[in-house]
Structures are given as structure tokens and as C-alpha cells.
Amino acid sequence: MSRQSCRQRFGYAAHAADGAMVCGSLGAPLEQLRDWLDLPLIAVLDAQDEEAFGFDSCRMPPSEHGIDGVLIVGAGDAWRAAALRTSVEALWRVPVLGVLDEPASLRAEVQAACATDAMPSRSLQRRLAQCWRAGLKPEVARQIAQRPFPWNASELFHADQLSPLRVAVAFDDAFYQYLPHTFDVLEACGAEVRDFSPLVDDCLPPCDLVYLGGGRVAEWAESLSQNCCMRQALALHLLRGGKLYAETDAAAYLCRELLTADGRHHAMLGVLPGFAVETDQTGLSPVAVTLPVDTWLGDSGHTLQGYADQGIRLLPAPALACEGGFISWPATHDGCSGMSQGGVIGSRLGLDLLACAEHLKRSAKAAPVAAASHQAPFVGEDRIE
């Protein structure tokens, strides 16, 4: 994603809010993001770190980081909180937004949640909010946040014109996980977006690109397998030169077969020569994948960043069973990260398609591929045990 695209999309997502916060650890790519968006940098300091708060030899942050404010956690008591606030503001010459005096039990819960990368519980979030409410200085936070962020909505809507791209989006009980701003911006950019249901519909709306988002594909595998009309409609879409993109667990729908957790085999579209296996894991993990070849989603060497679905494994079929042009993306410890062949892409990563707008534009203008490059849905005898 370019600096211009990043600023445009951030402005679009945050323009109706009173404030926006970007969280992360110091260092790339957060440093690049901060530079692109001209964000104030808030340092969170742990008052229980004796090395950081040994003020005889205070460890100053590098000057190039340009810290705009400080939050202090773990102060312990009101006297120490006041002393820390005074010392930091005097030595670092930056305002202290607040001091969080968290109980030991709450601190242990936060550390446990951070260690597992799990989403903090609602109860933990509420208790943290109560602690911040008592120690935060809202007027200081507002003063730091009140810096201009010039952006023009019209730039976003015309910089990456996708007209006349027609996008058919799967939306039903099996496919429903999409970034909230994706379709608004696609339509604002000139693309025509229409929805359909792979579960109950028997045909596709007129489209150039079919977009399958994640959801509960394994749960609805039997119904998806039995909808032969939709499977044939998608195969015909590819034969006509259309594009097909599926992400997270929806990538299983593109494979020859899906093995669900109950041990049952379900025939899927078969437009990619691979198999999918439902796992007992849940959640998404951040992953970066470098594309091994040119695709309509990105050129060879381009890095895609997203969140990999832990609930599904993608396993390429043996090399002799694969059709020409099939590419398996870089492997992980539990299978490959994605597969592509011609106009078909199946990825375990949930992506922001708007970050690939330039490639979507090329896709919209590209000539149809030869009909022989794709075969009808494959329901063969290859099985995974």
C-alpha cells in the first residue's frame, strides 16, 4: 500500500470519529505508518521497570522517535505517581497523559492475555477502562490529538478508479466476514458490487470478480457441496475468463475436497488441485506472505500482509495431479498459505483488497483468459485421510 492510499483509507475510516488510535510496538512497520499518517507518538512506560526509572541514569528514548506524550503504568500509589509524573515531564519535556494504577491481579491478567495473543475479555476491558478513567488527563490527550489531518474524500474515490469492475460478493450464513469499509469504498471507486448466496442461489449476478469472504464454511460444507447449480455457475464464470478470490476458511470451498472435524469428506468446487482440512484451532494470526509468481492480486515478490485463519489447513495435491500453472504459496508449519491457478486465488489470509487496488484495476481491464485454462469442477477419487 502506498502512502497516499494509506492516508486516504485511514481518513475514510476515521473521518466520523472524534479520535483514532493506532496501537503497536515501537519500530517498523509502525514507524513507517506513523510517518505516513503524521501521528503523535505516545510512549507507555512501566513504572515497575527499575532500569527505565532509575533517574540517576534515566534511559531517554532516541530523539528521532519524537515522543509527544507519555502514559505511565504500575505507579503503585499516589505519591509515587506524582513523583513519576514530575520527573518524566521535567527530564523528557513531554506531557504525561495519565498514570494507571492497576492492581496486581489485574496486571497479571493483562500479562496473561498478552502472552497468548488472545483478545482480552470484556470484563478485563471494563476494569482497565475504569483504571484509565481515574488516572487519565483528557484535556492533555485532546491537546496532543488536535493536529490537522488534511485529506480529501474525492481523492480516495478517484485515485484508484475500478470502473467498470463488477464484483459479486458471497453473503450468507457460510460467507460473511469482510472488512467493514471494503464495499463502501469499492462502490465509491466506481465498482459495481452485488451479493449472492452460494448456499441457495443457482446462478451468479453478472460479474468480473467473485469474492468469497470467510465465515463458517466447514459448518455448511454439506449444503455447499449439494448446490450443484452454483458449482457449475462458478465453473462457467472461470471458463468465461472471470476471476475468483476466496480468503480465510472460504479458500476451502475452492479445493477438491474438504475434510471436516467430524471425519466427513465433502466435494467442493475443485477449481484448485488441493484439499482442505478443518482443524480444532480458532482465531487469526498475523502473517506476511511473499508471492512466488505474478498473479492478478500482486506481482512476484510482492508481500501480502493479513491474518491467517487457524481453523483451516490447505494441502496441495501431489505434483502429478496438478494442472499446468498451479502454484502453491509459501508453506507454513500447518500447510500452505494459499494457492493460485490462472484467475483463481485461494488464500488463508484475510486481506484488505483495497490495498491491491492497482492490481484490481489491471484485472478489470485484462483480456479474458482462454477457456481451456480451467476445467469443470473436479470431484475425483483422491481422498485425504
CA-to-CA distance for 161 and 358, rounded, in angstroms?
A: 9
Residue 56: its pLDDT value, please? 43
Query: What does the pLDDT look like over 144-174, one tens digit per residue?
Result: 877 766 655 555 555 456 667 889 999 999 9
Task: Phi first, then psi: give them for residue 303, nearest 5 degrees.
Answer: -100, 125
pLDDT, residue 366, reads 53
pLDDT digits (tens, 9 = 90+) for 104-147: 677 777 777 777 766 677 888 888 777 776 677 888 888 887 77
Supply the DSSP string of 96-143, one letter for each residue. Answer: EEEEE---HHHHHHHHHHHHHTPPPPHHHHHHHHHHHHHHB-HHHHHH
| pLDDT tier for residue 175 given thresholds of 50, 70 and 90 | very high
Q: Which one of 133-147, 175-189, 222-236, 276-290 scores highest in mean pLDDT?
A: 222-236
Residue 315 three-state SS: strand
pLDDT, residue 238, reads 92
Contact indicator for 358, 162 with CB cutoff of 8 Å: no
Lowest mean pLDDT among 96-110, 265-279, 342-356: 96-110
At 238, list the grid cell: 472461470
**What is this structure's pTM?**
0.65
Q: What confidence score (pLDDT) does residue 333 get?
A: 56
Q: At 223, list the grid cell.
A: 449444503
pLDDT at 272 over 50: yes
- pLDDT confidence of 263, banded at 50, 70, 90? very high
- Say what the pLDDT of residue 370 is: 37
Percent of the chain topping pLDDT 90 = 24
Kindly list the structural domains of the chain, giving each domain's residue range(s) and its CATH number in brackets, ordered by start.
Answer: 41-145 (no CATH), 160-373 (3.40.50.880)
Q: Indicate the pLDDT class of residue 380, thresholds 50, 70 and 90.
A: very low
Identify the residue with better confidence: 180 or 371.
180
- Give CA–CA dist 125/351, Å, rounded: 27
Closest CA to 235 of 248, 254, 251, 249: 254
Q: Are 213 and 176 in contact (CB under 8 A)?
A: yes
Under 8 Å between Cβ of 361 and 191: no
User: Comparing 238 with 91, which gets the higher pLDDT?
Assistant: 238
C-alpha cell at 109: 491478567
Q: Please, what is the average pLDDT of the chain?
A: 77
99 against 335, higher pLDDT: 99
Of residues 39 and 204, the one with the higher pLDDT is: 204
